[in-house]
Amino acid sequence: MIDTEITRLIAAAIAAVLLGWACYVTAFVKHKNAVKDETNKSRLEEKRAELYEDEEIRLEKSQTWYIGYRLALIGLILVAAAVGWIAAYLVGQEYILTWVEDAAVAAAAAIIGGMILDKFIIHPIADGSFFEKVEDPMVSYFLENGTLPVKEVKVKEKKAKKEKKVEQESPAVQQELSEDELIGSLSFSEKVNLINRLRKSL
Q: What is the DSSP letter of 52?
A: P
What is the DSSP secondary-structure string of 186-198? S-HHHHHHHHHHH
Spatial separation of the C-alpha atoms in residues 99 and 102, rounded to whole Å: 5
> Using one digit for the tens of pLDDT, what is the confidence trace for 78-97?
999 999 999 999 998 988 88
For the chain, list residues with pLDDT below 70. 1-2, 49, 58, 60-65, 128-131, 133-135, 148-182, 202
Q: Tell me what pLDDT residue 42 has.
A: 73
Q: Tell me what pLDDT residue 88 has.
A: 92
User: pTM of the entire structure?
Assistant: 0.56
> Using one digit for the tens of pLDDT, what is the confidence trace for 25-37?
787 777 777 777 7
Provide the phi-psi class of 181: left if phi over 0, else alpha when psi is between -120 and 50, else beta: alpha
- 107 in Cβ contact with 86 (< 8 Å): no
- Which candidate, 33, 40, 67, places its Cα nearest to that of 55? 40
Q: Tell me what pLDDT residue 62 has.
A: 65
Q: Tell me what pLDDT residue 82 has.
A: 95
Q: Tell me what pLDDT residue 180 has.
A: 63
